[in-house]
């Protein structure tokens, strides 16, 4: 299920996923993409995060997040109120164009990150049709998406 967290380290592709190595970067993550979760001596959690666990070519990327192990267990054990996430996606990822509502199965959501220069927009990455990864610009904040899943 989706949960918000501060990612302190994410060893992934060439795209820099942690924008500030000192304070970390806020993300909305999905518990169904985590493996090898361990508590670090400082109380943070390390794990391997899979962008697309449906694709055998995807490898888990080492990640350190600001949650405690107890918080991670609670997030994994929680039952969401909805099985899908509806977002307001900008056509062609262009914020000057209209939005269209897209409904995404919760299991397909990989992660979301707030757009750095706009308070109400985020970039959402999800598995499209099982294999393809799609990143879209949405007119939703991370908190909006989080509460949409958890509130009845």
Q: Render pLDDT for 120-137 as a digit per residue (tens, 0 to 9).
A: 999 999 998 767 889 999
Residue 152 has pLDDT above 70, yes or no: no
Mean pLDDT of the chain: 90
> In the numeric block, which tokens belong to residue 134?
């799609």
pTM comes to 0.90
Q: For the segment 42-67, what is each residue's pLDDT rounded down to a tens digit? A: 989 999 999 888 777 788 899 999 99
Q: Which residue has the tokens 């220069």?
A: 117
* H or E segment and range at residue 72: helix 69-77
């Amino acid at each position: 299920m989706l949960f918000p967290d501060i990612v302190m380290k994410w060893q992934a592709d060439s795209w820099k996923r942690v924008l500030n190595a000192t304070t970390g970067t806020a993300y909305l993550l999905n518990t169904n993409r985590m493996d090898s979760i361990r508590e670090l001596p400082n109380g943070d959690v390390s794990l391997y995060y899979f962008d697309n666990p449906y694709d055998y070519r995807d490898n888990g990327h080492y990640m350190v997040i600001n949650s405690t192990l107890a918080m991670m267990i609670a997030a994994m054990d929680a039952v969401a109120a909805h099985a899908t996430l509806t977002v307001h996606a900008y056509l062609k990822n262009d914020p000057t164009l209209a939005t269209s509502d897209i409904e995404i199965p919760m299991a397909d959501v990989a992660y979301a990150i707030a757009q750095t220069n706009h308070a109400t927009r985020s970039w959402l990455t999800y598995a499209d049709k099982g294999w393809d990864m799609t990143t879209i610009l949405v007119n939703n904040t991370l908190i909006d998406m989080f509460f949409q899943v958890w509130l009845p």
